Chain A
Amino acid sequence: MSLKCLKPFLVVSFLFTLIYSSIGSAVCEANSEAAVSAIEEAEATVSSAYRAVFEAEKAGANVLDLSVRLNNACDLLVRAKVLCDAGDFDDALRLTNPCIDIGKAVEGEAYSLRDLALMQGEWNFRLTIVLSSVSIGLIVCFSCFGWRVFKRRYFRRILGLRPEVVSSEP
């Protein structure tokens, strides 16, 4: 085969390789950008979910279950970051999706729990104030009543005493 025949084939091969490699690198770059932005979104979601859990716990809610789920999201996020650093963008991207889903679900539930805990806390606070006030009022009433009854009995007992005559003779 002469060089003349090979020339078009070589040109086509070169062009094909060039196009293929540029498409390949563009796809790789796009994947990398998508993975990095997905990881950033996952980071932000987990942080927001943590803030919600913190507020719910402050309000007095039991957040143990939420923290367990949020920690699953944290694990996925860390694994996604490791994969992204290693250049495995597809798998990194695959892990960020459930991480974001868990984070959003936890955030929503945490705010609901916080509102519920705040209402419960306010109710408990009012109940405690009312019960304490009623108890104090009852203690004061019973004390006053008891004192009056005791005083009356005391005077009755004192007035009912008869002087005892004792002989003063030696």
Chain B
Amino acid sequence: MNLDDYRTLFLTVTLILILGASTPVIGMFLPRSEEPFFVLALLGERGMADHYYPNGDPNIGVGSPVRWYLYLYNHMDGAQYVAVRVKVLNSTLPAPDSALCCPSPVPHFFEFRRVLVKNETWISPFFWRVSGATYQGDMVAVTQLVVNNVTLSLDTRALGGHNFRLVFELWVYDDALGVFRFGWRSGQDYRCAWNQIWFNVA
């Protein structure tokens, strides 16, 4: 190796060391581009995506307890104030629209509120049973539900007690507007999350 080769080697090593020393400062100014999102899921009685109905039977009798778990994960760029609104629908009542991020027009009968810090996962029990139902001819009306030991009144009807559904909508607090909105802003897009489980009232 001649002197020029040694000079090149010295310069290269020096530049690598300078780059290493300036990495913490460069890291402070680099933009972090992560897609923000939420995860909303419903889990069965074992905390997994199965065993949603008692004894695997979707025909749920009055007073029969059902055990589900609500799963929420926050991957937004900071703490978020969220509400999960629970609605009872039949097969004809309109469900939320994922394409337009439009919630179901049916009013909610129960709500969870939670402040989730960044990257927090929250699992909450959703134990419920039908405690009141009226039968008028072929029509079955669910008039009372007990959710997590709270008795709630409602009035949703379905023919023969078939095809009721519990819909869970994720609403996120919009700080600018000062209200909860169905869905959240993700870059240029608007996204939303909802979930539903069908059941019959026997």
Residues of A within 8 A of B (CB): 46-47, 50-51, 53-54, 57-58, 63-64, 67, 70-71, 74-75, 77-79, 81-82, 86, 125, 128-129, 131-132, 135-136, 139-140, 143, 146-147, 150-151, 154
Contacts and interface: CB of A to CB of B under 8 A. Distances in A.
A82 B115 CA distance: 19
A125 B24 CA distance: 10
A64 B117 contact: yes
B173 A47 contact: yes
Interface string B4-45: 001100100110011001101100100000000000000000
A139 B17 contact: yes
A81 B81 CA distance: 17
B135 interface: no
A54 B10 contact: no
A63 B21 contact: no
Ranked 8 nearest A-B pairs via Cβ: A135-B21, A74-B113, A143-B14, A50-B81, A139-B17, A132-B25, A57-B79, A54-B79
Interface in B93-135: 110-118, 120
Contact of A136 (B10, B18, B80, B152): B18
Given A50-B81, A57-B78, A154-B3, A143 B114 contact: no
